[in-house]
Amino acid sequence: MEDTNRRVRAAAPVFGDRVSNSYVKGFLYGAKQAGHDPQALLEQAEIPPTTYTNKRASINGEQFQRLLMVVRETMNDQYMGFLRIPGKLAMEMHAGCTAVQSETLGQALRQTCEFINAVRHDEARELNIDEESGESTLSYRLTDFNKGVDPHLLYVMRMYWDYRFYSWLVGQQIKLTRVCFSASESEFSFDYARCFGCEVLFDQPQDGFSFDHDHLVLPVVRSQLAYMDGDFTDNFPDWFLVPGNDQSIASQVEQILLELRDDGMFSPSIDYVAEIMMMGRRTLSRKLAKERVSFQKIKTKIRRDLAKKYLLTSDISIAGISSKVGFAEPCDFTRAFIRWEGLTPTSYREVCLVD
């Protein structure tokens, strides 16, 4: 008997997919209803404004991700005007920090589900584990939409964003077994199977994605500093690129320095780190140079990120933070921080906490 479900056959994820004019307009509908000019948002994202009016126009993955980021930041709403109650970006930041502080993918999924379910009445997530089939499913339920928006588009954005985020979190592309949407397949949709890399079903009882539950024990390899520094979005600017095993030499050095700092060693030499990585000083310097970074720049980045973390998440005094990040005098720390951020530590704390 013929399957009545609409199916899209599995295919490997590829780069270079396009987002059509109809989808661009659909994703911008909530912002437009909230009073924002869609063409101005496109221009702010460095996309030709005519993309909004030209029915044959389409944009690539990098353009689309820039557009999403512009809309989210302009509206301070991770739901981009699709839901009646905005989801402030600070809420998403807290959810992400909860995930990166977890030890495994399973723990990250459970804790983010608990967090979102606790703070939102219009978004519910549930992680179901089927021991018999060996499959886990993360399901989504969104309600209380603004009039006129297409709910399916928000499901697409939330699910694909999360799929990319959790793949980034564990440092490898999660192999999905199935993606389900409650909506019907649109003739204007992009190739979902090429994005998710698995079978995609439409007209289903719920929205969500499934994977082998062996993935639940995958260790979280990203740090809170990397997340707060925007590594997930800045280093993976293409919407159609799913983060995978991207452990560059620079990221390995950064991880080693963070671990040494946790052990009380605040300023190890490049020779010491090179020995841990079982290579010579010159070899390490050469490999870092190929990635357009230096050992000192990585150390400075860690100092800067730690300083920003302490300023925003603690009540530690400026003098205390100065000492924690390795400066002998608070005045030296203040001068360095002005070079990094263009503000004094005190001003940075005041401005960011008000925002």
Instruction: For 171-180, write each residue's pLDDT tens digit.
Output: 889 999 999 9
Domain check: are 178 and 272 in the same one? no
Stretch 140-161: mean pLDDT, rounded? 97
pLDDT category at 9 given cuts 50, 70, 90 is very low
Domain check: are 314 and 270 in the same one? yes
Q: Half-sphere exposure of 166 toward its Cβ, with a 13 Å CA cutoff?
A: 27
User: Does any domain span residue 282?
Assistant: yes
User: Does any domain span residue 59?
Assistant: no
Residues 287-345 have pLDDT tens digits of 888 777 899 999 998 899 889 888 988 889 999 999 988 888 999 999 999 999 899 99
User: Does any domain span residue 341?
Assistant: yes
Residues in the chain, how many?
355
Domain check: are 191 and 253 in the same one? no
CATH number of the domain within which 321 lies: 1.10.10.60
Domain check: are 183 and 256 in the same one? no
Residue 328: the pLDDT is 87
User: Does any domain span residue 274?
Assistant: yes
How many structural domains is the chain composed of? Answer: 2
Domain check: are 92 and 158 in the same one? yes
Q: Half-sphere exposure of 63 toward its Cβ, with a 13 Å CA cutoff?
A: 19
Stretch 248-264: mean pLDDT, rounded? 82
**Residue 198 belongs to what domain range?**
7-13+86-217
User: Does any domain span residue 183?
Assistant: yes
In the predicted structure, residue 16 carries a pLDDT above the cut 70? no
Residue 158: the pLDDT is 97
- Rounded Cα–Cα distance for residues 76 and 58 (Å): 25
The burial of 80, by beta-carbon neighbours within 10 Å (0-12 exposed, 13-18 middle, 19 or more buried), is given as buried
Domain ends where: 217, 235, 269?
217
Secondary structure in 3-state letters for the chain: CCCCCCEECCCCCCCCCEEEHHHHHHHHHHHHHCCCCHHHHHHHCCCCHHHHCCCCCEEEHHHHHHHHHHHHHHHCCCCCCCECCCCCHHHHHHHHHHHHCCCEHHHHHHHHHHHHHHHCCCEEEEEEEECCCCEEEEEEEECCECCCCCHHHHHHHHHHHHHHHHHHHHCCCCCEEEEECCCCCCCCCCCHHHHHCCEEECCCCCEEEEEEHHHHHCECCCCHHHHHCCHHHHCCCCCCCCCCCCCCHHHHHHHHHHHHHHCCCCCCCHHHHHHHCCCCHHHHHHHHHHCCCCHHHHHHHHHHHHHHHHHHHCCCCHHHHHHHCCCCCHHHHHHHHHHHHCCCHHHHHHHHHHC
Q: Half-sphere exposure of 22 toward its Cβ, with a 13 Å CA cutoff?
A: 6
- Rounded Cα–Cα distance for residues 320 and 327 (Å): 10
Residue 188: the pLDDT is 57
Domain check: are 255 and 199 in the same one? no
- Residue with more model confidence, 244 or 101: 101
User: Left, alpha or beta for 209 (phi > 0: left; psi -120 to 50: alpha)?
Assistant: beta
* Token reading at 256: 């080693």
Query: Are the C-beta atoms of residues 157 and 79 closer than 8 Å to each other?
Result: no
Q: Which of 139, 146, 135, 171 has the alpha carbon at shortest distance from 84?
A: 146
User: Does any domain span residue 63?
Assistant: no
Domain check: are 211 and 253 in the same one? no
Query: Are the C-beta atoms of residues 327 and 267 closer than 8 Å to each other?
Result: no
Domain ends where: 177, 194, 217?
217
Query: Are the C-beta atoms of residues 177 and 140 closer than 8 Å to each other?
Result: no
In the predicted structure, residue 275 carries a pLDDT above the cut 60? yes
pLDDT category at 93 given cuts 50, 70, 90 is very high
User: Left, alpha or beta for 59 (phi > 0: left; psi -120 to 50: alpha)?
Assistant: beta
User: Does any domain span residue 222?
Assistant: no
Averaged confidence pLDDT in the chain: 88
Domain check: are 318 and 278 in the same one? yes
Tell me, yes or no, if the pTM score tops 0.75: no
Query: CA dist 153 to 62, 157, 288, Å?
Result: 18, 6, 41
Stretch 281-291: mean pLDDT, rounded? 86
Residues 106-130 have pLDDT tens digits of 999 999 999 999 999 999 999 999 9
Domain ends where: 166, 198, 217?
217
Domain check: are 143 and 265 in the same one? no
- Rounded Cα–Cα distance for residues 351 and 38 (Å): 29
Domain check: are 255 and 306 in the same one? yes
In the predicted structure, residue 153 carries a pLDDT above the cut 90? yes
In the predicted structure, residue 164 carries a pLDDT above the cut 90? yes
Tokens 């969104």 label which residue?
142
Domain check: are 159 and 258 in the same one? no
CB atoms within 10 A of CB 50: 11
Residue 13: the pLDDT is 31
pLDDT above 90 covers a percentage of the chain that reads 60
Residue 187: the pLDDT is 62
* Token reading at 164: 């990319």
pLDDT category at 247 given cuts 50, 70, 90 is low
Domain check: are 207 and 90 in the same one? yes
User: Does any domain span residue 54?
Assistant: no
